[in-house]
Structure 1
Amino acid sequence: MSEKPRKAPVRERKGKSLIKSRNAATSSAANIFIKLTFKEALELFVNAKKAEGMRPRTISDYYKHMEWFQRFLSEFYPDVKTIQQLTADIIRRYINYLRDERNPYAGNQAREKDTKGLAINTINIRLRTLRAMCRFWTEEDYLVENPMAKIKPLRKDTIDDMTGFTEKELKALFSVLDTRQYSNFRDKVIMLLLLDTGIRINELVNVQISHLDVKRLTLTIPAEIAKNRKSRTIPVSRKVMKLLLELHEENKQYFEPTEFLFLTAYGDQMLADTFRRRLWKYAEEAGIERATPHMFRHTFARDYLLAGGDVFTLQLILDHADIATTRRYVQMDENHVKEQHQRFSPASKYLK
C-alpha cells in the first residue's frame, strides 16, 4: 500500500514567517538610524493623516503647532535639530514656557498684552498635537522611545472656560454694532445664530443657503462640516431665520453668486478666525474683558436649561457624544441657582 503524501512540515511554514519577521525587523531597525529634521518628520506625519482622511483645518493646525514649537526650540535649544534629540525634559520646559512666559498675542500689536502665559486649554491642544506626532514617530520606528509617554495634560481649574455671557455683556456687545454697515449686520446675524442654536463657529462659517429649511425652521449641519462627522438638524427661531434670509439677499446684491451665507466684505467665504478677531474688537469697545465664539455656545446651553429645556435634547442639539460633556457646558453662577430655586422649590406651593 502506498503511503499518503505527508503534509508540509510545520517548521517550513514557520521558517517563511521567520524570514518575513526578520525582514520587518531589519526595516524597522533601519528607520531608527534615520535622523529626521522636524520639518521632515512633520511631512511624514501629515502624509499619514491625509491618507486617514484628516480635514484640511486640522492639517493646518499641525503646521501651526509645529511652527510654534520650533520657535521655542530655536530660542532655547538651538542645537536640537532632529526629532531623535527630543526628550521629556525639553517638552516639560516647553510646557512651562507656554504657561509662564509666552505672550498670548506676541507679534500682534493690536492685541499684545503685558500678561504672560497661555490658557490651559490652549496648552493642552498643542500638547495633544505633539503627543500624536511622537506616538506616530515611535510606532513607525523613527524614535526608540516616545518622549511624550510620561507627559500628562495640564489640569484645569473647575471654574474654567466653560462660562457664557451675562445678559448685561450681551446687551453691551450688540449695542456697539452699527448694522447700517454690512460687516456689522453680518456679525450680528452670526452672534444671534450662535446664541440661538449653540452651533460651533467652525460649522457656522461653512453654512450654505441650501442647509436652511425655511418652512420647517431648521438648519441642517451636513456630516462634511460637522465636528463629529455626523449630520444633524437643529431648530432655528423664526426671527433668526428671517435675518439669515435677509443676509443672503444682501449677499446677492453685493457679491458674485455663492452658496455660502457668511462672507467677507470682498465676497469671500468668512473664516472663523476673522470673526474671532472682530468679536475681540467689539468686546474691547463694549468694555467686556473676555469674549470668544464658544462663549455663545455655553450661553445657549445654560439659558436653554434655565428656560425649561431638558438636558437630553440639549445633548442632541450641541452634538455631544457623552451627556457628561453637556453637563460640563452648563455653569450656573449663584444668581442663576437662586433664581431657579425660587421658581421650582417644592415648598413654595405650600407657602401663601
Structure 2
Amino acid sequence: MQTVVRKTQRKGVRSNKNISRLKNLEQKMTLFEMFERFMNYKQTEGLAKPTIQGYYEHFHYLNDYLGRDIPNEEVTVELFREYIGYMLHEQGLKPTTVNVRIRTNRAFLRYSFQEGWIQIPIHEKFKPIKTPEDEIQAFTPAEVKALLNQIDDSRFVGFRDKVMIYVLLDTMVRISELLNMKRANIDLKGGYIKLEPHETKTKRTRSVPISTKTIKLLEEYMRESEDFRSEFLFVTYDGRDILSNTWRRRLTELGETAGIDNKRVSPHTFRHTGALFYIMNGGDPFSLQKILGHSDMSMVRKYIQMTDSDVKRQHNVYSPLKSIFGRR
C-alpha cells in the first residue's frame, strides 16, 4: 500500500503567523511607538546597560535628523539611505561611527518588519559601509609615563585616576567593566578582580589577574575611599558613581596636556596597549584571550597589531638562529 505524504498546509491557506502579521500591518503606529516596543523586547534579553543605552542614543541621533515623529508608512528605504548620506557628507562622521548607528537601526527595523509594523524588509536594503581594516593604536611606554606625569596624585581625584589607569592597563578591561567593579569583588590576597556577568559584554563571569604594583595601589586606594560607603570601587570625590563620558573627557584632557595628539587617548586605547605589551613581554595569546574575555581568537589578533619596530625587537630576542648558534 502506497504511503500518502500530505503537505502540512494546503495551498492558499495562510498560517497563523502570516495572519497575525497582516493584522499588524493594519495598525497605525509611529516610529517612536515602534521603537519603544522594540526596546521593551530588548530589555527582556538581559543586555548590558551600555548596550541598552547605545540603542537609545543612536535612536536619538535619528530623531534629531528627522525632527519629528513619523507614521509607520513613512518609514522607507529612501529615508534611511538619505540619513546615511547625511551622516557621512553633512556631519562628516567617520564610516566606523556611521556603521555602529547603521547596525542598531537595522536591528530595530528587522524587528519591526518581523512584527508586521512595516511592510518592506528595509533592513535588507542597506548595509554597513565597507571600510579598510582599522589600525588599532596603542601607546608607547613613554606616552603612558607622560600621561601619568600629568596627574597630581596628592589629591584624591588624581590618585584615583592614577589607580584607574594602572587597573586599565593591568587588567585590560573595558570601560564599563572598570566603572562597575565592586569593592567586594577585589581579592587583593589572591591577586584577582572578579567581573560579574551582568556587567561584562559576553554575560559571563570573568576573573582578571592583577600584578603586585596594582595590588599595592589598590590597597592604598581602598583604604582612602572606605568612608564613602559605596559598593563600587571607583567613585567621585563625593562618593557618587563615575559616568563613563566624564572619565573619557578626563583622559582626553590628560592627553592634551601630555602633548599626545597623534592618537586617541581613550579607555579602549589602554586596552589595546595592555594587550600589546602583554604579548611583547612574552605572554601567550591564549591566556590573553581569557583575560580580554573574547570567545574568538580573531579579535585577539586585531588587538595585538605590531609596528615594524615592535616586530624587529621581538625578532632580536626570539630569532630562530639563537636555537642553533646561541646568543652570540
Same structural fold, with TM-score higher than 0.5 when normalized by the shorter chain: yes
Provide the C-alpha distance between the structure 2 equivalents of 1:238 and 1:35, rounded to a whole number of angstroms.
62
30 and 209 in structure 1: CA distance in 2 versus 1, 3 angstrom threshold? same
Residue of structure 2 aligned with 1:88, choices 77, 86, 91 = 77
Partner of 2:122: 147
> AA paired with 1:242?
K
Provide the C-alpha distance between the structure 2 equivalents of 1:250 and 1:119, rounded to a whole number of angstroms.
42
Provide the C-alpha distance between the structure 2 equivalents of 1:127 and 1:63, rounded to a whole number of angstroms.
13
Provide the C-alpha distance between the structure 2 equivalents of 1:310 and 1:22, rounded to a whole number of angstroms.
54
Shift of 1:118: 2.5
Provide the C-alpha distance between the structure 2 equivalents of 1:281 and 1:346, rounded to a whole number of angstroms.
44
Task: Tell me if structure 2 keeps the 8 A contact 1:247–1:261.
Answer: no
Pair 1:300 & 2:300 matched: no
> AA paired with 1:52?
E
Pair 1:244 & 2:218 matched: yes
Residue of structure 2 aligned with 1:277, choices 225, 249, 257 = 249
284 and 101 in structure 1: CA distance in 2 versus 1, 3 angstrom threshold? farther
Shift of 1:156: 2.9
Q: Which one has a bigger Cα radius of gyration? A: 1
Task: Tell me if structure 1 keeps the 8 A contact 2:192–2:210.
Answer: yes
Partner of 2:98: 123
Task: Tell me if structure 2 keeps the 8 A contact 1:206–1:260.
Answer: yes
Residue of structure 2 aligned with 1:98, choices 87, 90, 110 = 87
> AA paired with 2:103?
R
Equivalent position SS for 1:219: strand
Shift of 1:275: 1.0
Task: Tell me if structure 1 keeps the 8 A contact 2:171–2:210.
Answer: yes
14 and 138 in structure 1: CA distance in 2 versus 1, 3 angstrom threshold? closer
Provide the C-alpha distance between the structure 1 equivalents of 2:122 and 2:103, rounded to a whole number of angstroms.
13
Residue of structure 2 aligned with 1:27, choices 13, 20, 30 = 20
Provide the C-alpha distance between the structure 1 equivalents of 2:183 and 2:281, rounded to a whole number of angstroms.
29
Task: Tell me if structure 2 keeps the 8 A contact 1:263–1:270.
Answer: yes
Provide the C-alpha distance between the structure 2 equivalents of 1:315 and 1:272, rounded to a whole number of angstroms.
24
Task: Tell me if structure 1 keeps the 8 A contact 2:48–2:199.
Answer: no
Shift of 1:152: 1.8
Equivalent position SS for 1:224: helix
Residue of structure 2 aligned with 1:230, choices 191, 204, 211 = 204
Equivalent position SS for 1:148: helix
Shift of 1:346: 1.9
Provide the C-alpha distance between the structure 1 equivalents of 2:143 and 2:95, rounded to a whole number of angstroms.
24
Shift of 1:146: 1.7
Equivalent position SS for 1:233: strand
Provide the C-alpha distance between the structure 2 equivalents of 1:271 and 1:60, rounded to a whole number of angstroms.
13
Report the more deviating stretch, 214-223 or 134-143. Answer: 214-223
Partner of 2:303: 329
Provide the C-alpha distance between the structure 1 equivalents of 2:134 and 2:50, rounded to a whole number of angstroms.
29
182 and 314 in structure 1: CA distance in 2 versus 1, 3 angstrom threshold? same
294 and 23 in structure 1: CA distance in 2 versus 1, 3 angstrom threshold? closer
| Cα-to-partner distance string for 1:297-339 (whole Å, 9 max, x where unaligned) | 1011111111111111111110111011111111111210111
Partner of 2:3: none
Provide the C-alpha distance between the structure 2 equivalents of 1:147 and 1:198, rounded to a whole number of angstroms.
38
**Count, aligned residues:** 318
Shift of 1:177: 0.7
For the aligned residue pairs, the C-alpha RMSD in angstroms reads 2.3
Shift of 1:60: 2.3
Report the more deviating stretch, 239-248 or 151-160. Answer: 151-160
Task: Tell me if structure 1 keeps the 8 A contact 2:31–2:75.
Answer: no
Q: Percent identity?
A: 37
Partner of 2:315: 341
Residue of structure 1 aligned with 2:33, choices 33, 36, 40 = 40
Shift of 1:159: 4.0
Task: Tell me if structure 2 keeps the 8 A contact 1:276–1:293.
Answer: yes
Residue of structure 2 aligned with 1:179, choices 153, 162, 178 = 153
Partner of 1:219: 193
Provide the C-alpha distance between the structure 1 equivalents of 2:154 and 2:286, rounded to a whole number of angstroms.
40
| Cα-to-partner distance string for 1:246-272 (whole Å, 9 max, x where unaligned) | 22211124x2x1221100122111122
| Cα-to-partner distance string for 1:97-141 (whole Å, 9 max, x where unaligned) | 222332xxxxxxxxxxxxxx3333322221111011000000001
Task: Tell me if structure 1 keeps the 8 A contact 2:107–2:123.
Answer: no
Shift of 1:22: 6.1
Shift of 1:83: 3.6
Provide the C-alpha distance between the structure 2 equivalents of 1:213 and 1:329, rounded to a whole number of angstroms.
27
159 and 47 in structure 1: CA distance in 2 versus 1, 3 angstrom threshold? closer
Partner of 2:66: 73
Partner of 1:6: none
Task: Tell me if structure 2 keeps the 8 A contact 1:173–1:283.
Answer: yes
| Cα-to-partner distance string for 1:207-229 (whole Å, 9 max, x where unaligned) | 11111112211111121211101
